[in-house]
Amino acid sequence: MKPCTRSAYESRLLRVLVHIQRNLDRAMSLDELADVAAFSRFHFARIFRAMTGETVGEHVRRLKLERAAGKLRHTRQTVTEIALDAGFDTPEAFSRTFKAQFGDPPSRFRVLRGSFRPPRSPSGVHYDQDGVLRGFTPYQGADPMTLDVSTREFPTYPFAFLRHVGRYNDIGPVFRRVAAIADERRLFGPDTKVMMVAYDDPSVTDEQRLRSDAGVSLTDPTVDTGELIKGEIAGGLYAVTVYKGPYDGLRNCYDWLMGSWLPNSGYEAADRPCVDVYLNKVEDTRPEDLLTEIRVPIRRP
């Protein structure tokens, strides 16, 4: 196996950051940026956020505001023209966002003397009119973690599930419905796993459109599952860790896996969804004692 080192990850991310700087005036899809970095399209947005501390949208918006600040100080373009160049529909919306970022509205910022220093960037990257990046430092995360991670090969699991569309943290009622049907159909056995398959990244998909499947593994794929939909959880190589704590901390855990563990692992993210396996019951477990096995699909370069 040719190792995929952290420096290789950083070099590939750097290609994306330069590409964004040089193409700020046009729309760039996540698929395009993933191809520039040669990262999995399925997981690119999560890797980008974990390694920069910003979503792609937040990063692009900040660079446009920094470019706008330079134009206010060094050109005679009107505020309206600069607002439109920055992607805002109205000068009012631009003014509110600009003031939140720089502390002054555009009109006052324009007449202030002296050079300005842009607000801190999580990755040290700022707008450069020549598209040259200086000071890039991969984001270390707001909540650094140290978890034991192993790599395991899993078979394909027969799976009975119900689809949930909406915030991942709102999937509880769907799981309760799944449990009731599974109990009625006698699907639970000593090896049954309660699992969630997540298909979308909350950083780029509207939370009301997030898709996930709540279900249970099946020992007999021919069994009658009633209202539960039959499917499969793809087998293959996964990075596996167990997170202890409330479910709202899982996002930080995923960020650590994608931004810290993966670049140092010698592996790359594979084009399959992540899987959460719930090891104890939320009904009789304190939030701080909840155990979730996280499976991130990986592949050898």
Is the model more confident about 75 or about 130?
75
Given a cut of 80, is residue 20 above it in pLDDT? Answer: yes
Give pLDDT, residue 114: 66
Q: Across residues 220-236, what is the average pLDDT?
A: 95
Band (pLDDT 50/70/90 cuts) for residue 136 is confident
Helix then strand then coil, % of the chain, to nearest 5: 40, 20, 40
pTM across the whole model = 0.83
Rounded CA gap, 16 and 20, in Å?
A: 6
Listed by start position, the domains of the chain span 6-111, 150-299
Give pLDDT, residue 2: 45
Tell me, yes or no, if the two domains 6-111 and 150-299 fold the same way: no
Give pLDDT, residue 137: 86
* Six token digits for residue 275: 């899987």
Band (pLDDT 50/70/90 cuts) for residue 117 is confident
Give pLDDT, residue 144: 61
Nearest Cα residue to 21 out of 144, 167, 134: 134
- As a whole-number percent, the residues of the chain with pLDDT over 70 amount to 96
- Provide CATH code, domain 150-299: 3.20.80.10
Give pLDDT, residue 141: 67
Q: What is the pLDDT of residues 139-166, one digit of tens each?
A: 876 556 778 999 999 999 999 999 999 9
* 6-111: CATH topology: Arc Repressor Mutant, subunit A (1.10.10)
- Using alpha carbons only, give the angle 251, 254, 259 rounded to the nearest 5 degrees: 125
